[in-house]
Amino acid sequence: MTRAVVAIGSNISPRREAIRVALQRLAHTDEVRLVATSALRETDPIDAPPGSGLFVNGACLLETTLGPFELFQCLQEIEALAGRTRGTPNAPRTLDLDLILFGDSAIDTPELTVPHPRAHQRDFVLEPAAEVAPDMTHPHMGNTLAQLKAARSAGATS
């Protein structure tokens, strides 16, 4: 089984309910085991259109026998079931599920980039990810999520 970290967010009501249902769907997905979930935190939208509401963000740790592209497709299907539509970048959304880490894989395709390219720069991703998987290592940076969080908190990471 491969460990994977998924960031979870929503800024269209009912935000917490959308996240709860998404976690439930992940937990009931064949070939996926929900290992841990972080606390949820309310955060300001980043680079979002004016008037975008506050986000509720968190993360979860999964173990899966799915490959990274199969897991990514599963995440997109769960988003669609929650009413997620894609259009304007960073627009408000009912549900956002981002594959942050997939084992020690480094993937860079038009469809999927893992590790997520900005995860280490965003507290709303890094803090909950480090909460559920502090020992997972960022394959490009060579640091654990806990180390990246500590460095960011100390102002050493851009």
How many Å apart are CA 152 and CA 119, to the nearest integer?
11
What secondary structure letter does DSSP report for 103? T
What secondary structure letter does DSSP report for 143? -
Instruction: Tell me the two tokens of residue 139.
Output: 């394959």
Would you name the residues annotated as active-site residues? 84, 93, 96, 98
How many Å apart are CA 25 and CA 146, to the nearest integer?
27
How many Å apart are CA 143 and CA 140, to the nearest integer?
8
What secondary structure letter does DSSP report for 46? S
Handedness of CA 61, 66, 70, 75 (dihedral sign): negative
Cβ pair 157, 125 in contact under 8 A: no
